[in-house]
Amino acid sequence: GGGGGAAAANARGELLESAAIKVALRNLVARNDGVLYEDAALQLGVKQQWATAGTGRLALYHVNKRPGALKHYKVSIVDAGLVQCDMVPLPTADLAPGGQVVQLVNGITCTAPQVAAPRLLVAYDDAAAPGGVRRFELKLPLVAAKFCEPLTLDTPTFAAQWRAIASGTDKESVQLLKAARPVDLAWCTAVLRSAKLAVLAGGGPPAPQTP
């Protein structure tokens, strides 16, 4: 009961990284809404909204799939690193059977590039878990691309900027790959745009300059 809830507030959980969870995370990196995690007791959904200037917010959907309440249900963001946000507290300490609670995470920004994604720590009372508390962590889809803003350039401007960056340095790298099957340009364009990258139709890295 109450002791388990108190312990959940001060402990970390196991990072869950099954194949299904990794697929769900990749989907939420490419899209703005979907299911982050689901098991026999709980479903966690995510809806993202991103404005210009790399500022966003999340809506977390907590769904109790059990016939009984999830007692002392707590969530928090850990290992945020350089990501800053304001997580609105849950309105209740228990998730009602079959109930859904929506929780907002506002003002999400990233002050500098970082590799690791913040994690969501989930804890609730469970008599079958060690110490009577079920704890686990999930990576949130708050990757670097979410905070980017695509830059749209015409071909001459892109070519000039590419050469200015690469000129006299080792920063230029051009590699040509032979596709094993026909390339679906529409699919490739959609993937790049989902990563907040602008696509220059018909363009590409200018040919290396020769003396």
Average pLDDT over residues 201-211: 58
Task: Evaluate the CA torsion angle 14, 18, 20, 23 in order and state its sign.
Answer: positive
Q: What is the pLDDT of residues 162-202, one digit of tens each?
A: 888 767 667 777 788 888 889 888 888 888 887 888 888 77
Q: What is the pLDDT of residues 85-113, one digit of tens each?
A: 999 999 999 999 999 999 999 999 998 88
Would you tell me the crossing angle of helices 19-30 and 185-194 to the nearest 10 degrees?
Answer: 90
pLDDT for residue 69 is more than 60: yes
- Which residue type sits at 23? V
Grade residue 6 by pLDDT with cuts at 50, 70 and 90: very low
Cβ atoms of 55 and 108 closer than 8 Å: yes
pTM of the model: 0.78
Integer Cα distance of 56 and 36 in angstroms:
17
Strands of the sheet with 119-125, listed across from one edge: 14-15, 133-139, 119-125, 74-78
pLDDT, position 89: 96
- Buried b / exposed e over 25-54, threshold 16 CB at 10 Å, is beebbeebeeebbeeeebebbbebebeeee
DSSP string for 44-79: EEEEEEE-GGG-EEEEEEEEE-SSS-BTT-EEEEE-
